[in-house]
């Protein structure tokens, strides 16, 4: 599945992804500024997540809840990790064993720890306003 889109279409793209992904563990690949966090925000919104959504760059992981208080999932940003052991130190294995949504930015930093049952999403910058998403 490949989709080209701009920001005004992000809700529709999020809906399509939710309907098509074979697992709840989503790994987002793309250069800085490609729109990984923006797409994750749209996914959380479409999944009825309440509250604000932001990249957990400094805290490594954010927890999101539905509007009714139920745990929706976790958003990881591994950009600042130096090695995979740091992911183990935050309890990654426990997060991955949950049945909740898992959104990972910069998963290439923990390649050896990624579960087999995951969906890889690549976002490519086509121009200033347009992105191309590939579901792998």
pLDDT 10s digits, 75-129 = 999 999 999 999 999 999 999 999 999 999 999 999 999 999 999 999 999 999 9
Mean pLDDT (whole number) for 16-42: 96
- Tell me what pLDDT residue 50 has: 77
- Tell me what pLDDT residue 123 has: 98
- Tell me what pLDDT residue 60 has: 84
Domains of the chain, first to last: 2-135 (3.40.50.300)
Q: How confident is the model at residue 57 (pLDDT cuts 50, 70, 90)?
A: low
Average pLDDT, the chain: 93
Spatial strand order in the sheet of 119-125: 2-6, 130-135, 119-125, 25-29, 101-105, 71-77, 61-65
Higher pLDDT, 100 or 52: 100
């Amino acid at each position: 599945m490949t989709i080209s889109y701009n920001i005004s279409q992000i809700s529709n793209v999020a809906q399509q992804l939710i309907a098509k992904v074979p697992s709840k563990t989503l790994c987002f690949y793309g250069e800085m500024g490609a729109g990984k966090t923006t797409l994750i925000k749209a996914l959380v919104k479409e999944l009825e997540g309440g509250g604000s959504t932001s990249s957990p760059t400094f805290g490594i992981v954010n927890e999101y809840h539905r509007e009714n208080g139920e745990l929706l999932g976790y958003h990881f940003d591994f950009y600042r990790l130096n090695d995979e052991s740091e992911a183990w130190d935050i309890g990654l294995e426990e997060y991955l064993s949950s049945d909740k949504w898992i959104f990972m930015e910069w998963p290439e930093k923990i390649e050896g720890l990624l579960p087999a049952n995951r969906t890889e999403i690549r976002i490519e910058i086509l121009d200033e306003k347009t992105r191309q998403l590939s579901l792998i």
